[in-house]
Structure 1
Amino acid sequence: MEILSTGEKIKRARIYKGITLKDLCEDKISISKMSCIENGKVKADKEIVQFIANKIELDYDYLIQDVYEQIVENLATIKAGKGNSENIEEDIKHNLYYAVEYEYYELAFDLIHILFSYYLEEQKYEKVQLIISQYYDLYQKNNKDENTIVYYNDMAKYLLQNEEYSEAIAYYVRLREIIDIEDSTGKELFSTVAYNEGICYCRLHNDIKAYDLLKESIRYEDYLQGDINKGKVCQAYAMVCIRLGAEDAQKYVKKTYEYQKSNPMIVASAKGEYGKAYFEVGQNDKAVEEILEGIKMFPRHNKEKYVQFLNESIETLYKYKEYDRAYDLAGQALDLAIETGEIKLIEKSYYFKGSILQRKGNFREAEMYMNLALDSLLKFGTKEERRRRYMDMASMYYNLGDVKDSLKYFSLAMTKEKNIL
């Protein structure tokens, strides 16, 4: 996606063809003016461009297309997803550079929004940090209402993904105040924003506020694009209703499944989430039923996803002391995890099996799985993950009566904690 001004195109073609400025200009153009055109100091009129096009045998329409038009054309290609997907980041950055250089700030704002969204989708948060200040500057140069909505929504998404929920809420509150809900587009956006704000409150364990916001989102669910998005809103609302004991719970559980029925993986995941909600309110039998149904219906063709769901289900069952059921699933999850060769899945499976065995009082067998899990974690875990695991190991060896190893792992945990601080 090369971008050249009219003058740069002329200069490049002239030099390539071995034509001097004097030869190019003849008696039609002064050499000094032609030099200024090539260096971007003067804009050539159409007659001059037509003369030069004939002289150096270049297409007139190609020459006359200036930087602005090239960026507009490239931007349309990027938005349509017709560019080179392998170079998409560089293409966006290249066009952004020229848009800023030539002070086409509206185009620059569109481009940095696309780049920001791309980084969020790819979870490249360190790159998001590098462009945040530039994004803000371009927003300040283009802070009309539609750009305010785009900018605030992007910032809120970034903060939500980074678990900075209170900060994200501040942006979502402002968005709900300025969104025009007179048309279908506004209603769809409002529903999405209210949903995301509701999710923030769910993560902050404020179900009352989450309930109010998700109910607002539900008001405009029909305006959401696609059954998957409608199902997400209904699922979040149903889960809050379950935790609050609201009468709408089963109505929206049913609606969730209706929207998601064409995608068994999403339905199974929803059942897993409902299982967590039922556990939270003490409906353990219902919780177990939902989780086991989810496992039964989860598609097996994607082995990695299936193992991940199994591990999530085991973690939930373990948390709520359903040790026998968790143990029955742990062996299956471990065998499949080993088949995938994915070290993170294998580590989780080892860890859960070791943890469950400890709860069942089988510390000697648990020791083997916990050590295998630790060996795997050391290959990819963060300092904080290692610190927590060392504390788990210290506790296990304490229960085994092995004071020496218990102190060893406790000391390692303390050392890691100091490094973190």
Structure 2
Amino acid sequence: MNSLLNSKSVLNTLNSVLATQPKLTALPPLSLYIHFPWCEKKCPYCDFNSHQIKDGKQGFDEARYIKALITDLETELPRIWGRQVHSIFIGGGTPSLLSAHGMNELLSAVRARVNLEPDCEITMEANPGSVETDKFAGFAKAGINRVSLGIQSFQDAQLKALGRIHSGEEAKRAIAIALQHFKSVNLDLMFGLPNQSLEAAKSDIETALSFKTPHLSFYNLTLEPNTYFANFPPKLPSENEIDAIFEQNLNLLEAAGYRRYEVSAYAKKDQECKHNLNYWRFGDYIGIGAGAHGKISFPDKITRQVRERHPETYMQAMETKGNALIEAKEIPAKDLPFEFMLNTLRLTDGVDTVTFGERTGLPLNVVSKGLDEASKKGLLDSNPNKLKATEQGLRYLNNLQEIFL
């Protein structure tokens, strides 16, 4: 009898575990992220995987790095065979340090190996200090159709405090050049800068709006661990001053026809960034390059990969082993709800509740307790067909996301 009860107990436990394993009926959209790890100068607030180019461009071998990227992409092909790539994002670091020839070689190799959607969005990040007219024309010819410019501010004193290599005038010139060559241009701006006043923040937004770019990103400067600013923090505006800057500039953006569609992203109608939307909707992405992360779904599991961070170590690994993975794992079913919510709750429109099952392969009832708690706290919209943060939820997004941790 005890043996029978034990068998039933084991069977019930097994069924319970199996019931929460991912079962995807369809695979999500697929993107490609390419990391370029070098920059001319490491900014004191930056916690991205970027490495300052030394005198004489020591350590920066463009041809060698591109060859490693192509090999890296080839190792991923069996995992995404038959799937279309709908967006590419080349981030860094400062990808605009690549030559136009190198960019053309890289994108030609990508096209030869993966099936790109006809209207594939191809974004490159660029530093205004590394913008050249001929170079941008070459990037556009290579296939780049969207550029994201790291402006941060138009005020020279603020740019100096942020350790940027460009001036306000160089930023304006870079925007004008980008608008001549690319279908879409995004401007990255920061607020809550060292000693920033309400009026200075307003001036930055008004200058950005004068260029009428289709997309703007508006970030609050945060002191990230393992950065210079974390160890030597500058004097930042108070929380009340930061709130005032945000509300002021949000009103200016909305009045100019920009809709806030994600916590820090604003776009004119139908000009949202397809690549970032795929992240926030818990889509799939191949990640190649030094320190790149990837997420690939299969019918019965969702996997993540991480590559070697240092560019030299990454290139050596690609050359000697044929891969530079330092982590490759299946995401445990228990972690999927948090990962999903961590991304999708950033969207101001949220997502339909059915998206949870489509992207995690899990039933919605696995998060029912968290949904009830978040709704009672006023952080989650009460619409039963939506997973959407309230205004309060967006304001206290970390608190909302932690409920599902």
Calculate the TM-score normalised by the size of structure 1: 0.26
Higher helix share: 1
Calculate the TM-score normalised by the size of structure 2: 0.27
Higher relative contact order (CA 8 A, sep 6+): 2
